[in-house]
Structure 1
Amino acid sequence: MHLIALDIDGTLTASGSLEVPAETVAAVGVVREAGHHVVLASGRSLAGVMPIARALGITDGWAIASNGAVIARLDARPDGYDLDAGTDVKILDVRAVITAALNARLPGLQIAVEEIGIGYYVDAVFPTGLLRGQQMVLPVHELQSLASPRIVLRAPGVHALINPLRAVGLTATPADVDWVDVTGPNLSKASALETVRRRLGVPAERTVAVGDSVNDIEALTWAARGVAMGDAPDHVRAAADEVTGTLHEHGAATVLRSMAAAR
């Protein structure tokens, strides 16, 4: 029995999409039927992860959202998860993040503070398709008083905030040229996957991770078998043990099929 961790955007779906190819859905079903644990591990919020879990037919087990800041126990209730049964949520210092962002005086800065399973509180509405779930507009001073596992900072030049945020112990992860995700100290998909691995009792040597982005690097190095997608950037592929096909070549399904007979 293995733990197979799957990134979503760029691995199972096109970025931001809710559609999963039939080949991938079938491959997930085969490995789950064989007794393996399939764990979605995404930078998306839980509101963005759950439609993919449903598309894959995953109604039990664990899912990781918000770059490892949220570990959710999946079940058959209407929203698909239980936030009380072993769920692990790491809350960050929202005020410190927003203060640092405002002090940088970046033109066009937008701030989104995640509300688990619902959406985001924002200082201004983000363009359609960039955030999953509801967008609820609040003044910045009200955003600073919220509790949240993750903050999105979006602006041209926002990568200038990465090192200052890391210097004060926060986890700052670039997700696009104008986008940075901020979570609490020492968090990653790998840290959350290690928590899930221990809960499931899966040996470390029976772990697999598939991904394509910067926020997958820790997971690829954590896993006994780290697999980068064929269209991943060079530095992501360099962190992996092997490279599979591209998204359009159904590379994730290829990896899953290779695990079908594993014990």
Structure 2
Amino acid sequence: MISPRIAFVDVDGTLIETGSEIAASTIDAVRTARHKGHLVYLSTGRASVEIYPAIRDIGFDGAISAGGGFAEIGDELVIERTMPEDAVARMVGFYEESGYDFYLQSYDELYPSPGVRDRFAAYYAADSVRSVATGAGPKPVTPADEHPALKAFANVRRYSFTGIAKSVFLAGDLRAYDRVSEALSGDFHVITGTIPHMGRGSGEVTLSGVNKGSTILQLLDQLGLDPESAIGIGDSSNDIEMLQVCGVGIAMGNATDAVKAHADEVTTSVLDDGVWNAFRRHGLI
């Protein structure tokens, strides 16, 4: 009898093509692995509220969200790693002084600056044109009329400084990452953009020590599972610690070379059965 494994699967660039498409084989891989008794968790930089129904409806045993800020077992929130209010205020103050667009992630809310919606709207409009041009293809995971992120990002209101686990900054300034790193180093963990279509000036910020990998270790401890039993699959810079702590770290074929350097192996790309091939190789399906 095969011992049950636990797999942590990133969303954008791993589970789905950055944008809105998912390979049918990926859905089949997740459902088949769970049917065989393995655990499959999402592990994403998205806030929980950004894990839209079409993604959750695939069926998962839980989720790590906001880049390690939160963890759920089933529908129960079991880990919260949020920032002190003064740290959030310092971060927001720097963004506003620098003129950078940004949004804050709590467990169930997004707090965007005024320019965020327009940035995402431009991308999704271009993505829609690309999808039409290529014709029939992988299954979309967002409605055709309006992407749900646009509705959330249109809700510009007073920022909350409590319950915030992560921020994402978006800037045309290619030095933005360097400037944010310099200003926030020490208390914060700053990584380069994990949203490629937002440009090289984007990035994300959590508290120092908060990342997918460290939260996975906390979650595995709660589940009573050994990290050696875990498989991590991802493609971006916020996946590096996940690949490092899991018994097997797998980079997608579309991952950057920097991410692949931290992986034990590389599978095929996101729309080329990458998750299916990884699960198959390790006996989950």
TM-based fold match above 0.5: yes
Listed as ranges, the gaps of 5+ residues in structure 1 are: 75-80
Q: Percent identical across equivalent pairs?
A: 25
Shift of 1:215: 0.9
Rounded to whole Å, the distance in 2 between the matches of 1:24 and 1:97 is 37
Shift of 1:162: 3.7
Rounded to whole Å, the distance in 2 between the matches of 1:192 and 1:52 is 25
Q: Cα–Cα, structure 1 residues 232 and 117, in superposed 2: closer, same or farther, change >3 Å?
A: same
1:69/1:149 contact within 8 Å kept: yes
Rounded to whole Å, the distance in 2 between the matches of 1:67 and 1:131 is 20
Q: Match for residue 169 of structure 1?
A: 187
Rounded to whole Å, the distance in 2 between the matches of 1:233 and 1:162 is 22
The TM-score, its normalising length taken from structure 1, stands at 0.83
For residue 8 of structure 1, the aligned residue among 11, 22, 42 is 11
Q: Match for residue 200 of structure 1?
A: 223
Shift of 1:50: 4.4
Q: How does 1:138-217 map to 2 (within 5 A)?
A: 138=157, 142-143=158-159, 145-157=161-173, 158-175=176-193, 176=196, 177-217=200-240
Rounded to whole Å, the distance in 1 between the matches of 2:265 and 2:219 is 23
Shift of 1:89: 4.0
Shift of 1:234: 0.9
Rounded to whole Å, the distance in 2 between the matches of 1:52 and 1:67 is 20
CA RMSD in angstroms, aligned pairs only: 2.3
For residue 80 of structure 2, the aligned residue among 81, 85, 88 is 88
Q: Match for residue 232 of structure 1?
A: 255
Q: Cα–Cα, structure 1 residues 226 and 145, in superposed 2: closer, same or farther, change >3 Å?
A: closer
Rounded to whole Å, the distance in 2 between the matches of 1:16 and 1:44 is 13
SS of the residue corresponding to residue 98 of structure 1 reads helix
Structure 2 residue 156 is the aligned partner of structure 1 residue 137 = yes
The TM-score, its normalising length taken from structure 2, stands at 0.77
Q: Match for residue 117 of structure 1?
A: 108
Q: Match for residue 128 of structure 2?
A: none
Q: Cα–Cα, structure 1 residues 171 and 98, in superposed 2: closer, same or farther, change >3 Å?
A: same
Kindly provide the amino acid, as one letter, of the partner of residue 185 in structure 2. A
SS of the residue corresponding to residue 277 of structure 2 reads helix
Kindly provide the amino acid, as one letter, of the partner of residue 186 in structure 1. G
Q: How does 1:23-102 map to 2 (within 5 A)?
A: 23-51=25-53, 53-58=55-60, 61-74=61-74, 81-83=75-77, 86-92=78-84, 93-102=87-96
Shift of 1:196: 1.4
1:9/1:15 contact within 8 Å kept: yes
Q: By percentage of residues, which structure has more helix?
A: 2
Rounded to whole Å, the distance in 2 between the matches of 1:113 and 1:215 is 17
2:69/2:165 contact within 8 Å kept: yes
Listed as ranges, the gaps of 5+ residues in structure 2 are: 125-146
More displaced stretch, 205-214 vs 119-128 = 119-128
**Alignment size in residue pairs:** 245
Shift of 1:236: 0.9
Rounded to whole Å, the distance in 2 between the matches of 1:65 and 1:248 is 23
2:38/2:284 contact within 8 Å kept: no
Q: Which runs of 4+ in 1 moved over 6 A?
A: none
Shift of 1:13: 0.6
1:119/1:131 contact within 8 Å kept: no
Shift of 1:165: 4.6
The one-character-per-residue Cα deviations of 1:34-93 (angstroms, maximum 9, x if unpaired) are: 2211111011111222435423222xx32011110111232xxxxxx334xx24242352
Shift of 1:238: 1.0
